Structure 1
């Protein structure tokens, strides 16, 4: 029988050999099928770590497959660069760098079947939590939490102090999971935030619009941005202590004129709708063009408000307060009268009118040291053009 050099055979032959082993073939039988000697097959098996881990089947395309690892090994043998290898298999070069570093053999060489076996071993589930299985790691993490270190600080400390000991390494997520699972003792006072339970995690899951038939700010007329035509307002709620009370704030973009909405019966959608309809009725129709609001649930009934007030309502993007910058600035001014964390229900409608009166008669640098009341008066006496 001819002699075969174990590392000279094509990768396709080796791949078929290992596939047969995973199907349950004996080593000698698999070697006969692929046309090599039993000793050649044995050398391949030893080189792969003397074990064959069952493959669980198809996985997400973002993970490397056996074929990808074979291509990486062939590329390294052909002296290709990592970026060339990554391009050939359709992965990022960072993925290939991590793969070579993580799954190389102890001597530094990269063997595709060894690497694939290591990957399959790590993928096995269920798997014992790392902190549960290591008393030294658990003790150290518990001590640092007691010293008010954050999980991120602990993870960085472990990476620095135990750079060569993977058993004493833990990422922040591992520490959080162990803490909330009760592996690190009492959860109280362990985190600086004081949390004792895990927040819901929805990374990468888009949040559906809570308000039906919204018109987003990107569809708002371009004249609103220029601030040359009055009648375009921004609105928001200023929330009181314990979210038990609120005051509605409206500010006109061109004149900075402020109008406060009294909400004595709460600030859910029906109460806000009724208050906006009744308390903006005195505003001249030509000054009721648009109203920009955030995506708060208090404006769920925006279609009723539009129909009965004449405002065309536009909603900002989520978590984008700068899209209502004038209103945010006005809310800051209002804190002088309504400090944060106080009960806003004690203020009457007359109190709100007095506060708005003071703000509207305060000179503003952005208006050339004129007051919002003066600029609004000019808008009402001069012809309005679109």
Structure 2
């Protein structure tokens, strides 16, 4: 970790520092979370919520019984929400470099254990680029979440290597972050104001895709995307020529192909995910209506059939016969915060994709 960035994160209190410009970092309006997630958030202690600096909502579905790692957990808001969704048979580990934020999170462990009826949260101090410092073993985690902390990492290749080291086969990385439409100049990488706005470390999307491929994930899925304009005049003067977007992304630890290939497979959603009785959105291009057979590429079949989602989908077919490239389709993402579709989407305001004939693009993120 670079000296400047490490010192800044420590000084500002963890992976989600407040903006030194006095403004919130760029973001965009998203749909409200599903009722069960909103209800979980209301059960989190007020101080934990007030001291939390995260701005997204990286809360995926199908968490019951899972081991979840919350990177840059800060005061623990998301960790305590996740603790309710994983349930008494699940486990949540929050890791942060800032001990003062962890002290807030730990102070309310007893309160939440009493309120939930069980204790399944553990907060640890450690570096995100070296999770062994927090005692996270190889292949020990089902889901890794991160709420606007990736941009603060000065060594993103190492960060993603660590994430995929600790994930079990079929595990998922699910995170919210600001991305850029070009590479950020080195001269701005350590600017304190841009650090505070979580902009100086923003990844260029194509570089992110390449980095993920090298880390072991050849097909990254974008769940939600919206423009994230810079509004503060001084910040805009420095970096206003870069276009930023707020993305929610998911990536699985699976041996996926680098393009979407057609093997004649189909998937049927059972309608059994909490908060998604009528439809489930895997990403911004793939919506699965309950009970409706939907054609899928080989990668999507694996994402549904070889992960924790397997209990909620019936995937038919195998990869014995290759039928060529899987035909792409355009994204059908509505404006963030728009009217939800049947059954609701992901907690972060996922865009809706076509219900029938689900298809995929070869290049990711999209």
**Greater length-normalized contact order (CA 8 Å, ≥ 6 residues apart):** 2
More strand by share: 2
Interval containing the TM-score (normalised by the shorter chain):
under 0.3
Greater share of helix residues, 1 or 2?
1
